Structure 1
Amino acid sequence: MIASNNNNNKKKQKPEYRPPSSLETNKKPLRSDLPFDFRFSYTESSPDARPIGLREPKYSPFGPGRLDRTWTGVCAPAVDLKVKSVDVGVGEEGADLEEKRTVIREKIQGKPLTKAERRILAEKCQRNKTKRQINLGRDGLTHNMLNDIHNHWKHDEVVRVKCMGVPTVNMKNVCTQLEDKTFGTIIHRHCGLLVLYRGRNYHPRNRPVIPLMLWKPHEPVYPRLIKTTIDGLSIEETKEMRKRGLAVPALTRLSRNGYYGSLVPMVRDAFLVSELVRIDCQGLDRSDHKKIGCKLRDLVPCILVTFDKEQIVVWRGKDYKPPEDEGEQFFADRQLFDDPQSDMDCSEETRISDETRFQQE
């Protein structure tokens, strides 16, 4: 009798650990209802950019058989390409997914925050109050970063996101993708520091299913950014322009993991005086030069001349006209996101004191 009681009191031995294997096909693939295509980076890749080739076979970075979406080599579409109807166009599908994301976001956000609530939540994310933050680096907003944001939202209503390097050239895109993919709201921004609010009706138990990528997929092959000859110029004129571009005084020098939010307005202002602009990128990776150049080409807009000697040289073109929508494309260095006229409602004294406090941090 005593021996039987001792046997019952013994803990059951845990089964031996077995590492995951692709040979185990009895597990069902994970299903996610998120209404957008899964990409490695949502800010550094564009659905409109068409690759001309792939560097590897179409191996899913989520693992073999672990996700119910097909990996196309660039993304995992939310709509199965094999099952979709022929009558429904690509534009209609994108509009339906965007409408679905808007409905989900409005349901999670609930009633808008008051100005006092925004200020209280922004104060909680100061460096002297908390050290918890998410670093957004050269890869931009990656897919696995969405899971990290929801993990932070388990413990607090807001999370601080620090943006550094290449993505900060276009902060408007970073803020848009953050709100679109996490269904949150940015309630404060100071240069590259963002405060992301989860929403009134958010509950950690109802968080979406986000499958994790097991490795970083290779980037597809895209057309060359810099061609042998610039459009409209001969070979000799192109060579001469590249020599002159490298001899032009540098507009600015980019620091590693710095904030480049004012780079596009600086290039636009420089084009009013000079037709060639050189940006010193010593210390940055070669891939960063190409990413920054691609963003400048689309945002300024301008023509890329060369990436030689760790420099970015851009040309304004023959018939250059300053863009008229400059104010609509860029944020100010500091915003409270209360409403469209939030900066006008805030007093000048409060604005100066907040800027002084962030500079001291």
Structure 2
Amino acid sequence: MLLPRDLLLLPWRRATAAGEAIARRLNHHRAPPFSDPDDDPPFTRLAERPPRAPSKKKKKEEEDQGGRIRPPEPASSDLPFDFRYSYSETDPAWRPIGFREPTRFSPFGPGRLDRPWDGVAAAAARGEGAGAAATSREEVLGEPLAEEEVAQLVERYRHSDCSRQINLGKGGVTHNMIDDIHNHWKRAEAVRIKCLGVPTLDMDNICFHLEDKTGGKVIYRNINILILYRGRNYDPKQRPQIPLMLWKPLAPIYPRLVQNVADGLTFEKTKELRNTGLNSSPLMKLTRNGVYVNVVDRVREAFKTVEVVRLDCSHVGSSDCKKIGVKLRDLVPCVPLLFKDEQIILWRGKVKQENSVSLQFSPEPS
């Protein structure tokens, strides 16, 4: 029986024909048992190459080193001060009561510094290095700048679009920042430093540590902007060697900042002062990473009329709130009573009360 021509071209017939073509093509590439050895069909397994012999240069280096790689020698520095993570935000007089990490873990790395790390600082060798450092600093600074030279440097570096700028945050004057300043001094006479956050409460402290640790001189100061000059005789090739910290060490554990009962008061009186401060209107509202240069003066002025002051530190962070309280305690001075819900309650202290009473009832001199 003969089928029509259209039935021969049905889809199932075309699929079968295509399958047969593919099968013939695969059978064509399949190597028969007695095929030509020169034939190279696809997916042929290549012979494994033998491993390469070590180069003569590498072998010679291993022989010179005794067959093992020696660790680098620990770095040494002639700087006369102790190495700390932050110089402006820590006080050597504060002694911690505990540590959050083992003290054997130095932030400079294992075996990379010849100074022992005690969990807070890497102490320098005590000697006569301080006097020599002061003499060398005076030699590097040279003659004082004239007013025209200062005005020229200030005009060049005081603008916000200055490329030679370093941002100083809540960490204050950190150890690695000293190296950054010297790196800028390679190609620039001065560097612009923009200060933000908690360190701006005490700008005098920042200026002191910048000049003391770098050897430069602050020639311009406007609110939170500083310009640090390197000196007339500064030579980048003779800059001090500053080992870098590889990570930020965990802060030690210090005694409690706020006691349950304030000194000189009873528990009921302390509780009453805390409630009074929480219910009073805030003196100021501080922002995160703001400029706090006028906070100390405002608190001192407020303590002339009121006994308790509240500072609103919403969105500042609990850590920064405690740092602000510590600085105000030493700068005003005052007594922190409470840190709650990012609110700081400060008491002017019993000494302030006694002084005000004595001045009020003291007889006038005749």
Q: Displacement of 1:100 after TM fit?
A: 3.5
The reply on whether 1:133 has 2:165 as its aligned counterpart is yes
User: d(CA) in 2 for partners of 1:97 and 1:65?
Assistant: 24
- Partners in 1 of 2:159 and 2:189 — Cα distance? 16
Tell which has more relative contact order, 1 or 2 (C-alpha 8 A, sep 6+). 1
| C-alpha contact (below 8 Å) 2:321/2:339 kept by paired residues | yes
Task: Indicate the residue corresponding to 2:119 in structure 1.
Answer: 73
The two structures have a TM-score, normalised by structure 2, of 0.76
Letter in 2 for 1:248: S
Paired residue for 2:149?
117
Percent of aligned pairs with the same amino acid:
53
> Aligned pair in 2 of structure 1 residues 38, 128: CA closer, same or farther (>3 Å)?
closer
Q: Deviations 1:4-46 (Å, cap 9, x if unpaired)?
A: xxxxxxxx9x98xxxxxxx965311011111110000001111
Partners in 2 of 1:69 and 1:128 — Cα distance?
39
Residue type of the alignment partner of 1:250? P
- Tell me the equivalent position of 1:32: 77
Q: CA deviation at 1:54?
A: 1.4
Q: Judging changes above 3 Å, is the alpha-carbon distance between structure 1 residues 40 and 313 closer, same or farther for their aligned structure 2 residues?
A: same
Aligned residues: 291
Cα drift, residue 318 of structure 1: 2.3
Deviation, structure 1 residue 236: 1.8
SS in structure 2 opposite 1:239?
Answer: helix
Say which SS state the counterpart of residue 143 (structure 2) adopts.
coil
Secondary structure of the residue that 1:223 maps to in structure 2? coil
- Between 25-34 and 219-228, the greater mean CA deviation after superposition: 25-34
User: Quick one: which amino acid aligns to residue 190 of structure 1?
Assistant: N
Tell me, yes or no, if the aligned pair for 1:278 and 1:314 is still in contact at 8 Å: yes
Question: Which of these residues, 184, 187, 193, is aligned with residue 152 of structure 1?
Answer: 184
Query: Matched residue of 1:314: which SS?
Result: strand
1:42 alignment partner in structure 2:
87
**Which shows bigger deviation, 52-61 or 155-164?**
52-61
Is 1:311 the counterpart of 2:343? The answer is: yes
Task: State whether structure 2 residue 291 is matched by structure 1 residue 259.
Answer: yes
- Inter-CA distance 290–213: structure 2 relative to 1 (3 Å threshold): same
Q: Deviations over 1:198-252 (max 9, x none)?
A: 0011011111100000000011111100011111222222112111111111111
Closer, same or farther: CA 46–203 of 1 in aligned 2, 3 Å:
same
Cα distance 1:155–1:280, how it changes in 2: closer, same or farther (>3 A)? same
- Structure (1 or 2) with the larger CA radius of gyration: 2
8 Å Cα contact 1:161/1:196 also seen in 2:
yes
Identify if the C-alpha distance between structure 1 residues 69 and 128 changes in structure 2 by more than 3 Å, giving closer, same or farther.
closer
Point out 4+ residue stretches in structure 1 off by more than 6 angstroms.
Answer: none
Uncovered stretches (5+) of structure 1, i.e. residues with no partner: 1-11, 16-22, 85-92, 324-361
C-alpha contact (below 8 Å) 2:158/2:227 kept by paired residues:
no
- Identify if the C-alpha distance between structure 1 residues 235 and 128 changes in structure 2 by more than 3 Å, giving closer, same or farther: closer
Stretch deviating more after TM superposition (101-110 or 168-177): 101-110
> In the aligned structure 1, how far is the partner of 2:195 from the partner of 2:273?
34
The alpha carbon displacement at 1:322 in A equals 11
Which of residues 63, 66, 86 in structure 1 aligns to 2:109? 63
1:292 aligns with 2:338: no
Residue aligning to 1:105: 137
Q: Report whether the alignment pairs 1:237 with 2:237.
A: no
Question: How far off is 1:97 after superposition?
Answer: 4.8
Q: Distance in 2 between matches of 1:27 and 1:322?
A: 62
Q: Is the 8 A contact 2:218 2:226 kept in 1?
A: yes
Pairing of 1:138-287 with structure 2 (within 5 A)? 138-287=170-319
Distance, in Å, in 2 between the alignment partners of 1:309 and 1:26 is 50
Distance in 2 separating the partners of 1:293 and 1:128: 31
Deviation per CA, 1:137-165: give whole Å up to 9, x if none: 01111100111101111111000000000
**CA distance in structure 2 between the aligned counterparts of 1:221 and 1:26, rounded to whole angstroms:** 34
- Structure 2 residues without counterparts, runs of 5 or longer: 1-54, 59-67, 356-366
* Cα drift, residue 173 of structure 1: 0.3
> In 2, distance between residues paired with 1:262 and 1:313?
18
Task: Go from structure 1 to structure 2 and tell me whether the alpha carbon gap of 1:315 and 1:109 turns closer, same or farther (over 3 Å shift).
Answer: same
Q: Which amino acid aligns with 2:118?
A: T
In 1, are the aligned partners of 2:164 and 2:188 still within 8 Å (CA)?
no
The 2-side partners of 1:26 and 1:205 are apart by 26
CA 1:55–1:159: 2 relative to 1, 3 Å:
same
In 2, the alpha carbon distance for the partners of 1:206 and 1:321 equals 55
Aligned equivalents of 2:230 and 2:165: distance in 1?
14
Find the aligned partners of 2:230 and 2:267 in 1 and give their Cα distance.
54
Please report the TM-score for the alignment, with normalisation by the length of structure 1. Answer: 0.77
Secondary structure of the structure 1 residue equivalent to 2:284: strand
Give distance in 2, aligned partners of 1:322 and 1:304.
18
| TM-aligned CA distance change 1:115 to 1:205, over 3 Å | same
SS of structure 2 residue aligned to 1:250: coil
Q: Corresponding residue for 2:96?
A: 51
